[in-house]
Amino acid sequence: ATPTALLVGTGRGAQLGILIKGPQILESTRRVDTIVLDKTGTVTTGHMAVADVHVTATEDLQTVLAIAGPLEHASEHPIARAIAAHSKDAGVDLVQVEDFTNHGGHGVSGSVNGHAAMVGRGSWLTKEWSLSLPVDLQGQAEAAENEGRTPVWVAWDGAVRAVVVVSDTVKETSAQAIAELRELGLRPVLLTGDNSRAARSVAGQVGIADVDVIAEVLPADKVEVVKRLQAEGAVVAMVGDGVNDAAALAQADLGLAMGTGTDVAIEASDLTLVSGDLRAAPDAIRLARATLRTIK
Ligand code: ADP
Ligand code: MG
């Protein structure tokens, strides 16, 4: 009787928009007590847009976009796509960049029209490039972070000259999904490479407390966070969508990928939430519990 019941479980899963790699997964699905949620693209839509560009007094907007646009055009990061599209809309010619380098979790650098340029997070520009952030723009950057937005700094020829504010939107169904996960007895944790203020703002919108927000985590360190929680005795589910999340998804006791995410994330996971609606996560856990109850 056991195999039949398991097949029913996986078939019902498909109806709910959940793809299950195999029936053996139901057992870990039942046992999870902690659920780590990637922020960008999992809790939020991940469709970034440029909300504002703040430029220092000595620079003009068009020049800033003429540097940042081509540089980000060479990157596939959602932030990069937003900045490249915004620059193109402003009439910028997205010229070829030389010596392009992607610094994962930090930003990008390269030579644009002969100018050595970087676009990325403030702490990276100050620590790795020994640049200082213009005092007149810091207040705007902080205000943006407090609203859940991401400030991205633009520098070239040895000076930081602008901050681009990028915004993302929390998915309509995320708060309900997280409430349901809590009702099922799981502790939700928000994990992101983004700044802590933005992370806490998003967490607040979906009902996750500040203590359960882990921000400014480099791509390679997401897996370490999962290991640490496991070492503390947690049985961990991880939900993610990005290349960044793959190692953590594989490490988790149960990996759940957004069907709207990257193939790498899907391959690393045990379950795929086809539509990218986070409510499929509590559905999957309920289904696993109900299916195992049928078998026992
Ligand atoms: P997440 O965990 O939210 O998917 P990432 O680890 O990809 O974030 O990136 C972390 C941070 O690094 C971003 O919030 C941004 O500040 C900076 N960053 C990464 N890539 C880029 C880029 N191409 N352009 C500008 N900033 C970037
Ligand atoms: Mg993501």
CA distance readout (Å), 40 to 116, 149, 201: 29, 11, 13
Check for a shared fold between 2-45+170-295 and 49-167: no
Cα angle at 243 between 47 and 116, to 5 degrees? 75
Question: Using a 6 Å cutoff on CB, does residue 194 contact ligand 1?
Answer: yes
> Which position among 38, 168, 245, 283 bears the catalytic label?
38
> What integer pLDDT is reported at residue 11 of this predicted model?
74
CATH architecture of 49-167: 3-Layer(aba) Sandwich (3.40)
Check: CB of residue 105 under 8 Å from CB of residue 219.
yes
Question: Using a 6 Å cutoff on CB, does residue 75 contact ligand 1?
Answer: yes
How far away, in angstroms, is 216 Cα from ligand 1 center?
9
In this structure, which residue's CA is closest to atom 25 in ligand 1?
A: 120
**pLDDT exceeding 90 applies to what percent of the chain?**
84
pLDDT bucket at 187, cuts 50 / 70 / 90: very high
pLDDT tens digits for range 262-291: 999 999 999 999 999 999 999 999 988 887
> What integer pLDDT is reported at residue 294 of this predicted model?
72
The mean pLDDT value of the chain amounts to 93
Q: Is 283 among the residues known to form the active site?
A: no
pLDDT tens digits for range 22-59: 877 888 888 999 999 999 999 999 999 999 999 999 99
CATH topology of domain 2-45+170-295: Rossmann fold (3.40.50)
pLDDT bucket at 8, cuts 50 / 70 / 90: low
How far away, in angstroms, is 244 Cα from ligand 2 center?
7
CA neighbor of 237 nearest in space, from 38, 6, 61, 52? 38
ipTM exceeding 0.90?
Answer: yes
How far away, in angstroms, is 188 Cα from ligand 2 center?
16
**Every domain of the chain and the residues it spans:** 2-45+170-295, 49-167
